[in-house]
Structure 1
């Protein structure tokens, strides 16, 4: 049975830190540490603020789900602005933004986005097989 941490935060910057704290606790509880935990938290620091910043739905909630299912760890961030899917950008060296999805692509084993009935979701997946930064599962 997969381990799941799921919650929603109000679409406001001050709640981004709360999302990171909850994800950090879940990763620690599941024995995910070091570089993998750092990568997941870094991608959460990209995806959650992007949802907060770019969602055009007033008073929206941003959904965050972290799932550990066998050899895969998946981070999902969703918001109700379902018609605005994110896309990779080729940002120039002088541009301040636009590199978030490039970072997601570089640090995760797979990533993508999907339109659900009422939301859009950006996800990043990590494969745990052969990693040294995951504690063995408890018997």
Structure 2
């Protein structure tokens, strides 16, 4: 008798969602970070606001440094369900996938994805028709 694959659970309904496109400029990182912290607090999860803001900052910085193109926007999407907060950052460079690395003590950069991995319950990358989306999820 053949094994049956269990039917995956349907996705949880989205209670809150925010999407905003940013110019590929350094100042966009702090704008996205502050917006995330404010929204997460307004959505009733103030204890997650700091971690969510840091994750947004790191994903935005990576998109800016490694995934941006001069005339293409970077999108930040934040969703809240009954069990998770998901932060997504989409950039136009699908060929440049995120890779955590271990930075030397003297390195100025290279710790962002390690921070994301330490704070998030799950993170990853999804290809898009154009570009990619890097996401992180905080669950409870």
TM-score, normalising length: structure 2? 0.84
One of 10, 14, 21 as aligned partner of 2:34: 21
- Secondary structure of the equivalent of 1:24? helix
Q: Supply the distance in 2 between the matched residues of 1:41 and 1:60 (Cα, whole angstroms).
A: 23
Post-superposition shift, 1:52? 1.4
Q: Supply the distance in 1 between the matched residues of 2:37 and 2:107 (Cα, whole angstroms).
A: 30
Q: Residue 85 in 1 paired to residue 97 in 2?
A: yes
Q: How does 1:93-104 map to 2 (within 5 A)?
A: 93-104=105-116
Q: Over aligned residue pairs, what C-alpha RMSD do you find?
A: 1.3
Q: Is the 8 A contact 2:34 2:53 kept in 1?
A: no
Structure 1 segments of 4 or more deviating over 6 A?
none
Post-superposition shift, 1:55? 2.4
Q: Supply the distance in 1 between the matched residues of 2:40 and 2:85 (Cα, whole angstroms).
A: 10
- Secondary structure of the equivalent of 1:66? strand
Q: Residue 55 in 1 paired to residue 84 in 2?
A: no
Q: Supply the distance in 1 between the matched residues of 2:43 and 2:56 (Cα, whole angstroms).
A: 17
**Structure 1 segments unaligned to the other structure (5+ residues):** 129-139
**Structure 2 segments unaligned to the other structure (5+ residues):** 1-12
How many residue pairs match? The answer is 127
Deviations 1:91-120 (A, max 9, x none): 222222111111100000011112111121
Q: Residue 71 in 1 paired to residue 83 in 2?
A: yes
- Secondary structure of the equivalent of 1:4? strand
Bigger-Rg structure (1/2): 2
Post-superposition shift, 1:56? 4.5
TM-score, normalising length: structure 1? 0.85
